[in-house]
Each structure stands twice: as structure tokens, then as C-alpha cells.
């Protein structure tokens, strides 16, 4: 394969034979013309061509270098019974998971006089939301985590917590819904900012301040 030019990413697809597994060559994930070589690309020719480091390297998030002592990093997460923010109007799923308190580490909470269940304000450069907190060891110190499933104001009677003006048979029946909190959505405070390499939205690194409401 090397004799055919299977040496760099852009020519990899021409010389691909397969991957060796315990002495046998098997056809695995065949490289294409765009971005696969079939190798573990510790050195990336594509990154080099784009003027970016060809080897794995660390580059600090600019906003993190300007954080104040009391600032936290907001991250988002997903739970196993909801999908993005699209399934919140499924009654049975929302019965299991209908609100999303902000997760905060005990050390981080203690430094701010915050207790489990307290209402807090989470503020970024573009906005502020109010939510309850869940004090837990499940999140690292210096971080606050809010899932991205809840906080609808429309999208249906179970997602929004409102009855619909379409007839009694369509309304949210009190005997079927024992909960009243529909949570908040962190999108209000996450800037529209993309990763410079992947072009994906930056969901995990928003700088925020957290205070008791």
C-alpha cells in the first residue's frame, strides 16, 4: 500500500488494502477522498493544510483565560429518557424527567452559600436564567451543568405545562399530571459561538456567574 501512495491522507484511498488483525488482513473502514487514511492520524496533514497544528495540542479557551475568581463554566448534558428537547411533550417520558435543576459540586455550592434545592441565577454575557440547584458530587468543582431537555414555553401541553386552546379533549388533565415544574433551557445564556476546527456549537464552555436568587 505504501508503494501506491498510501502515505498521506489525500492519497490514502488509492492504496488501501485493509487493516491487519492478528496477522490477517481484513477490509474495515475504507478511507475516502476526503478525510480518512486508515491510520491513527496522530499527525494530520489536513490540519496542517488549514494552517492549524498538525499534532494534538492544547489551546486554552479565550474566555476561560479571562474568568473572574467567582466565575463558573456552564456545561450541558443529556439524560437517557429524553432526546435533545424534542421528546418533552411525551407524557410518560416527562413524568420521569420534567425539570432540570442545575448540578453543582458541594465545594462550589458551599463557597457561595448555596444549598440543595435553592433557587439561583445563572448569568452569562448574553442573559440570565433562574433555576433550582442539585448539589451533587456528579459534577466537578468550578462547573455548573444544566441539561438541554426542559424549559419549553410551547410545543405541547406536557412540554410547556399549558393547556391548549383546541378543545377539552386536548387539554392537560390534572389527574394525569402530578408535576408542575417544567424546568429551564440553557440556550438563553449560551452564546452563538462555534469551535474553530469542527464548526460545531460550543455547548460546554460558557463562562457564567451563579448567585442565589
pLDDT at 34: 56
Cβ distance 147 to 67 under 8 Å?
no
Buried b or exposed e, range 82-117, using 16+ CB within 10 angstroms: beebebbbbeebbeebbbbbbbbbeebbeebebeee
| Alpha carbons 1 and 39: distance in angstroms, whole number | 12
* Domain range annotation of the chain: 2-49, 62-212
The band of 171, judged by pLDDT with boundaries at 50, 70 and 90, is: low
User: Beta strand pairing status for 24-26 and 128-135?
Assistant: unpaired
The residue behind cell 399549558 is 162
Is 70 exceeded by the pLDDT of residue 153?
Answer: yes
Q: Per-residue pLDDT tens for 55-106?
A: 998 888 999 999 999 999 999 999 998 888 888 888 888 888 888 999 999 9
Task: Say which residue, 105 or 34, is predicted with more confidence.
Answer: 105
The DSSP 8-state label assigned to residue 204 in this structure reads S
Task: Say which residue, 117 or 35, is predicted with more confidence.
Answer: 117
pLDDT at 122: 97
Among 1.10.1030.10, 2.40.40.20, 2.60.120.650, 3.10.20.600, what is the CATH number of 62-212?
2.40.40.20
Amino acid at each position: 500500500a505504501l508503494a501506491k501512495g498510501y502515505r498521506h491522507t489525500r492519497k490514502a484511498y488509492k492504496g488501501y488494502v485493509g487493516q491487519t488483525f492478528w496477522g490477517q488482513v481484513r477490509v474495515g473502514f475504507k478511507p475516502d477522498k476526503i478525510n480518512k487514511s486508515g491510520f491513527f492520524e496522530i499527525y494530520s496533514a489536513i490540519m496542517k493544510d488549514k494552517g492549524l497544528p498538525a499534532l494534538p495540542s492544547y489551546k486554552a479557551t479565550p474566555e476561560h483565560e479571562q474568568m473572574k475568581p467567582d466565575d463558573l463554566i456552564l456545561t450541558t448534558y443529556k439524560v437517557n429518557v429524553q432526546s435533545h428537547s424534542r421528546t418533552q411533550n411525551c407524557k410518560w417520558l416527562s413524568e420521569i424527567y420534567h425539570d432540570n435543576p442545575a448540578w453543582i459540586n458541594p465545594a462550589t455550592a458551599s463557597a457561595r452559600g448555596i444549598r440543595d434545592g435553592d433557587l439561583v441565577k445563572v448569568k452569562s454575557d448574553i442573559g440570565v436564567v433562574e433555576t433550582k440547584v442539585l448539589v451533587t458530587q456528579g459534577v466537578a468543582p468550578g462547573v455548573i451543568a444544566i441539561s438541554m431537555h426542559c424549559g419549553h414555553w410551547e410545543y405541547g401541553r406536557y412540554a410547556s405545562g399549558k393547556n391548549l386552546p383546541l378543545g377539552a379533549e386536548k387539554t392537560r388533565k390534572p389527574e394525569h399530571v402530578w408535576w408542575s415544574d417544567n424546568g429551564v433551557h440553557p440556550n438563553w445564556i449560551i452564546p452563538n459561538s462555534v469551535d474553530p476546527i469542527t464548526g460545531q456549537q460550543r455547548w460546554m464552555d460558557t463562562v457564567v456567574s451563579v448567585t442565589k436568587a
